[in-house]
Amino acid sequence: MEEVSVWVALGPLFLLFIGLILSLILNILIDKKIILRDLH
Amino acid sequence: MSGIQITFILWIVISIVIGYFASRRTKKIEQFWVTERNITPAIYGISIVSTALTPVVFVGLAGLMGNYGYGAIYWICIPQLIAFAIMLCIIAPKMRRVNKAVSVSDFLADRYDSDQIRTLTAILVMIFGILYATQIVMGTSVVVTYLFDIPWIASCVVVTIGALVYTVLGGMLGIIWNSVQQWIVFFLGSFIMMPAILSKAGGLQNIVKTISTTKPGFFSLFGPNPQLLTLPVILGFLVTFIFGNVLFNPATLTRHFVTKNEKTPVRASYIVTGSIAFIWVFVILIFLGGMVLYPNPEDLESLFVLLAKNEVAAWSGAIALFGIVATGLSTIGVDYMLFSQSVVNDILVKTYHRDLTSEKQTQLARIWLVIGAVIALVISMFRPALVMIVLQTAAEFSMVFTGPVIGAFWWKRATREATFWSMLVGAIMVVCSHVWQIVSPNTYSPWFGPGLTGFWVSGLLFIIISLVTKPTSHQLEVYEEWRTK
């Protein structure tokens, strides 16, 4: 059986923060008025 | 009575007191449904997290990870977090622009100018609300039974009272204010056991080594058993969890109406995606430790409860279990609201008695909250085996809102006829797919699973019927009014 290193096993958990990164990007795009320009 | 029991009772009393203070700010019926529409990003974000997380996160995720390994993270958790960001930054601001609506039925009926759509949506949401409430009452009662060693029926009653009283008193504001304390409890609950479990299981290095040798492939993209995670299964997960659970779930769709302005949900996206990610990381690490401590548990879904009961100090175990109860209570009230809102606002008032006074409507809303809670309580007391299938069906109903909601904002040509028929036929197809699965499991194909079928049948019908019918001038006016650039 092949052993997996801790980083290979636990690294993917950082992918769960992809939603947070996407939120950051969308917040910037909205603030810079690139998308949804007329929000109030 | 033990200290843990006293703390639990005190906690329920505090929720009720918060509900009482919320009731003093809830005079008119509109405030009962959607508060004063002045909720700020942090509170709104926390309330979304509290509604979205249910005992399923703690209990069901272990079962999914047992079957699919990390496949469950890649194909369920990560897509859901992406969906939350899109929901809050793209869909929620648009929903907020709809100023008069208090429910999903209101919103669709206004956009497509049709009382038939209002009634159909109300019926779907009503079924969704009551069955979802039942499911969560049952999930939460399992934990309460473990926690206090009391009979099943008593647990169901405790859970129902815990969620119902503050909802009846404070309406949506009672739910939102309470979601803040519940958020603290389940954040603490998901974190508190982790250090003890990880060290008991021999540290991260040992956990990874043990799991990767006993369950080869566990950490891979398609899990330990790739035959289970085929393309139709993955697609089914994606549509059910992205569109059904997050984007077009009536419980969250309704919540967007309470925000202070159109930017509120955009700002709240940080707190929602951040807290859910943290909670999942904690819970997943606890499961990994648990898999080493209990290599072959009889029932993976009870793993979290087993760990809380046997592997950590009594108080930290109790707080962890309180956390599960908090995720349950915070969602049950919302589902009662969906039921009551569908009956009172959508069917009774908006369809038949528009002239009913605000006081009378508030009174009726409270009565129907209690009726909804009693129905859910009675079903959960009997713990029927069939109920799980019926519940899943109800959850998949929200799939049929995909076309109508997207069309409302982004497609000028979307029509009333398309909305009505795509929702009706989509919901029927979800039921048919489940019946097929039960009646003839040998001929059943996952390509026609309920989530997937509901999604593509209703989506396709929505597009085709919209193309062959014409929107009325009133529908076009509303479209222009709601449009954002």
Q: Under a CB-based contact definition with an 8 Å cutoff, are residues B223 and B54 in contact?
A: no
Asked if B468 contacts B422 with a C-beta cutoff of 8 angstroms, the reply is no
The reply to whether residue A12 touches residue B70, judged by beta carbons under 8 angstroms, is yes
Nearest to B57 by CA among B361, B320, B348: B320
ipTM of the complex: 0.96
With beta carbons under 8 A apart, name residues in chain A contacting B88: 23
Tell me, yes or no, if B78 comes closer than 8 A to chain A by beta carbon. Answer: yes
| Confidence (pTM) | 0.95
In degrees and rounded to multiples of 5, residue B417 shows phi and psi of -60, -45
A33 CA to chain B: closest CA distance, Å? 10
What is the predicted pLDDT for the residue at A40?
76
Closest partner residue to A13 among B82, B266, B281, by Cβ?
B281
- B199 in contact with chain A, both atoms CB, cutoff 8 A: no
- Nearest-CA residue of chain B relative to A23? B85
The predicted pLDDT at position A32 comes to: 95
Question: Are residues A40 and B263, on separate chains, in Cβ contact within 8 Å?
Answer: yes
Instruction: Tell me how close the Cα of B262 comes to any Cα of chain A, in angstroms.
Output: 5
Beta carbons within 8 Å of B424's beta carbon, 6+ residues apart: B120
Q: How far apart are CA B467 and CA B458, in angstroms?
A: 14
Kindly state the percentage of chain A with pLDDT values over 90. Answer: 68
Nearest residue to B312 (alpha-carbon basis) of B192, B432, B186: B192
Average pLDDT, integer, range B143-160: 93
Q: Average pLDDT of B247-276?
A: 96
What's the CA dihedral at B399, B405, B411, B413 to 10 degrees?
A: 90
Tell me the shortest Cα–Cα distance from B204 to chain A, in angstroms. 7
Mean pLDDT over B60-81 rounds to: 92
Mean pLDDT of B428-446: 91
Closest CA–CA distance from residue B94 to any residue of chain A (Å): 9
